[in-house]
């Protein structure tokens, strides 16, 4: 460990709650709740969120979709749509990093939940026709604006020629479009019901939201261990 790292570690280990501004403490708790939810559930990306919103807002059945064109920044394309297996995922590890799979599942189901990553759903042949109608491309202007902006445009064309487009530069959760505390908590509850029943989820949330008043992290860890093994 070099001297700079050593100094940073020493500084961090010496910090006390009272040394931190209240807004920093609160943001730490929000991040913890969000991280715990994602760790036991799933995570969504902006193309997936756009597809889910479109599925709930637009009266178009999956059978009426002729094509779905996703334009986004280069890093997103490389991470989630470049390799052939991302277009025909067979495992959860591939599916939860596959933009084609997640967008198709969102249009089919209206949302992405832990059930989206069940083995039977991942390999469901009903999703493959829509995946085959997707294109995912890098938009050079979006790449230029990344990471200050996380731009995505989704364009859906129906078999009768209608064209529906949605675009965003600041997806939900971006520092310029943050989730509210209620949305962070709702995300946690939506991602964790398979592992946490409601009372156990309440205990984890109570431990996380009251982190600064706890003498140790034992209560938080015990709430998670109890949830997983009970």
The pLDDT assigned to 52 comes to 67
DSSP the chain: --HHHHHHHHHHHH--GGGS-HHHHHHHHHHHHHHHHHHHS----HHHHHHHHHHHHS---GGGEEEEEEEE-HHHHHHHTSSGGGGS--SHHHHTT-HHHHHHHHHHHSS--GGGGSHHHHT-GGGHHHHTTEEEEE-HHHHHHTTT---EEEEEEETTS-EEEEEESS-TTSTTSPPPHHHHHHHHHHH-TTT--HHHHHHHHHHHHTGGG-SSSHHHHHHHHHHHH-
Tokens of 155: 């364009």
Kindly report the average pLDDT of the chain as a whole number. 84
The C-alpha atoms of residue 167 and residue 155 are separated, in whole angstroms, by: 9
Q: Is the pLDDT of residue 54 over 50?
A: yes
Query: What CATH number should be reported for the domain holding residue 137?
Result: 3.30.1330.120
Closest CA to 51 of 167, 176, 173: 167
Examine the domain organization and report whether 188 and 85 are in the same domain. no
Percent of the chain residues topping a pLDDT of 70: 86
The pLDDT assigned to 189 comes to 87
Cα dihedral sign for 195, 127, 65, 165?
positive
Q: How many CB atoms lie within 10 A of CB 35?
A: 11
Closest CA to 138 of 214, 211, 76: 76
Provide the pLDDT confidence category of residue 55 given band limits of 50, 70 and 90: low
Mean predicted confidence (pLDDT) in 47-58? 67
> Residue 2 domain-assigned?
no
- pLDDT greater at residue 209 or residue 23: 209
pLDDT tens digit sequence for 174-196: 889 888 999 989 888 888 887 78
Provide the domain count of the chain: 2
The pLDDT assigned to 101 comes to 95
pLDDT tens digit sequence for 3-43: 777 767 777 677 676 777 888 778 878 887 777 666 544 45
Task: Tell me if 103 sits within 8 A of 111, measured CB to CB.
Answer: no
Which residue shows structure tokens 């943050």? 178
Q: Is the pLDDT of residue 1 over 60?
A: no
Examine the domain organization and report whether 122 and 186 are in the same domain. no
First to last CA, the chain: 41
The pLDDT assigned to 20 comes to 73
> What's the half-sphere exposure (Cβ side, CA atoms, 13 Å) at 191?
18
Provide the pLDDT confidence category of residue 56 given band limits of 50, 70 and 90: low
Mean predicted confidence (pLDDT) in 109-127? 90
> Residue 10 domain-assigned?
no
Task: Tell me if 194 sits within 8 A of 116, measured CB to CB.
Answer: no
All residues at 6 or more sequence positions from 21 whose CB lies less than 8 Å from its CB, including other chains: none
The pLDDT assigned to 99 comes to 94
Examine the domain organization and report whether 51 and 134 are in the same domain. yes
Examine the domain organization and report whether 30 and 55 are in the same domain. no
The pLDDT assigned to 113 comes to 82
Q: Is the pLDDT of residue 226 over 70?
A: no
Domain boundary among 134, 151, 168: 168
- Global model pTM greater than 0.85: no
Examine the domain organization and report whether 84 and 101 are in the same domain. yes
Examine the domain organization and report whether 72 and 125 are in the same domain. yes
Mean predicted confidence (pLDDT) in 116-122? 94
Examine the domain organization and report whether 30 and 71 are in the same domain. no
Examine the domain organization and report whether 141 and 190 are in the same domain. no
The pLDDT assigned to 228 comes to 45
């Amino acid at each position: 460990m070099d001297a700079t790292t050593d100094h940073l570690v020493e500084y961090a280990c010496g910090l006390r709650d009272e040394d931190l501004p209240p807004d920093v403490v609160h943001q730490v708790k929000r991040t913890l709740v969000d991280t715990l939810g994602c760790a036991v559930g799933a995570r969504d990306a902006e193309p997936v969120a756009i597809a889910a919103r479109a599925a709930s807002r637009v009266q178009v059945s999956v059978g009426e979709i002729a094509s779905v064109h996703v334009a986004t920044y280069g890093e997103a394309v490389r991470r989630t749509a470049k390799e052939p297996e991302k277009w025909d995922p067979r495992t959860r590890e591939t599916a939860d990093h596959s933009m084609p799979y997640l967008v198709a599942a969102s249009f089919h189901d209206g949302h992405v939940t832990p059930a989206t990553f069940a083995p039977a759903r991942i390999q469901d042949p009903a999703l493959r026709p829509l995946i085959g109608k997707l294109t995912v491309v890098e938009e050079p202007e979006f790449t230029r604006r990344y990471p200050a902006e996380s731009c995505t445009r989704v364009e859906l064309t129906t078999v009768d020629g209608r064209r529906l487009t949605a675009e965003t530069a600041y997806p939900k959760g971006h520092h310029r479009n943050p989730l509210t505390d209620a949305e962070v908590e709702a995300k946690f509850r939506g991602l964790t019901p398979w592992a946490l029943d409601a009372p156990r989820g309440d205990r984890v949330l109570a431990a996380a939201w009251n982190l600064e008043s706890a003498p140790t992290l034992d209560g938080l860890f015990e709430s998670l261990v109890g949830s997983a093994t009970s």
